[in-house]
A and B are shown apart, each in its own frame.
Chain A
Amino acid sequence: AQSVTQLDSHVSVSEGTPVLLRCNYSSSYSPSLFWYVQHPNKGLQLLLKYTSAATLVKGINGFEAEFKKSETSFHLTKPSAHMSDAAEYFCVVGRGGGADGLTFGKGTHLIIQP
């Protein structure tokens, strides 16, 4: 069994300040972990993924996440927020092989203040 908890339903930051979106997971298997972004009326876009290689994962648009097994966390960060980052972000866990359906967190709505 696997589950994902996104600790904040909404996060609001000012443009140019750091972003932190928190995610904790549980899994009976060696997990694969992902962050996806969903802009209004658009499809899901993969930001980054962890699949048992380096624990610090760099993704697109300046985002990165660190896999911490001891804390069962996979928080998403970005040093400087941009207005275009405003969207819904989903932390997702899958079984290591990738052949199974994914389990999505409830999502975090990121708001960027000008």
Chain B
Amino acid sequence: GAVVSQHPSRVICKSGTSVKIECRSLDFQATTMFWYRQFPKQSLMLMATSNEGSKATYEQGVEKDKFLINHASLTLSTLTVTSAHPEDSSFYICSANGHTSYEQYFGPGTRLTVT
């Protein structure tokens, strides 16, 4: 149980275009979902926290107009990287937790490459 999926697993896009990444909780309802970013050989940095039906809370230094987060249902959150640039290339990981657990369940990640 407690499986989180991400789609796509890899995406390559051209500079200036937008790309959407989906995060789904497959067998539980996620009250809260989180988006992290991981640079090569570095740690994960929390980007934002999203609660179903409300606006996401962004961490300091994360541009909310560039990284659009939508949490439309208890099983789906999306991250849209708008007007992507090469410096946005990274590994994006989502996680989700339910009502009854301290644990966050992580998705497998999405590798974004902007050319």
Contact = CB atoms under 8 A, between A and B. Distances in A.
Interface of A: 32, 34, 36, 42-44, 46, 49, 51, 90, 94, 96-107
Given A43-B106, A43-B109, A44-B106, A103 B46 contact: yes
8 contacts: A42-B108, A49-B102, A96-B102, A98-B102, A98-B103, A99-B32, A100-B49, A103-B46
Interface of B: 31-32, 34, 36, 42-46, 49, 59, 93, 95, 97, 101-104, 106-109
Contacts of B108: 42-43
Given A43-B106, A43-B107, A44-B93, A98 B59 contact: no
A46 B75 CA distance: 21
A104 B101 CA distance: 19
B42 A101 contact: no
Given A97-B102, A103-B46, 19 more contacts: A32-B102, A34-B103, A36-B106, A42-B108, A43-B106, A43-B107, A43-B109, A49-B103, A51-B102, A90-B44, A94-B104, A98-B103, A99-B31, A99-B32, A99-B97, A101-B34, A101-B59, A104-B44, A107-B42
Contacts of A90: 43-44
Contact of B101 (A43, A98, A106): A98
A32 B101 CA distance: 12
Given A42-B108, A43-B107, A99-B97, A94 B102 contact: yes
A102 B104 contact: yes
A22 to B, nearest CB: 15
Contacts of A99: 31-32, 97
A51 B101 CA distance: 10
A4 B52 CA distance: 29
Contact of B43 (A32, A42, A107): A107
A75 to B, nearest CB: 18
A98 B107 CA distance: 17
A67 to B, nearest CB: 14
A98 B93 CA distance: 18
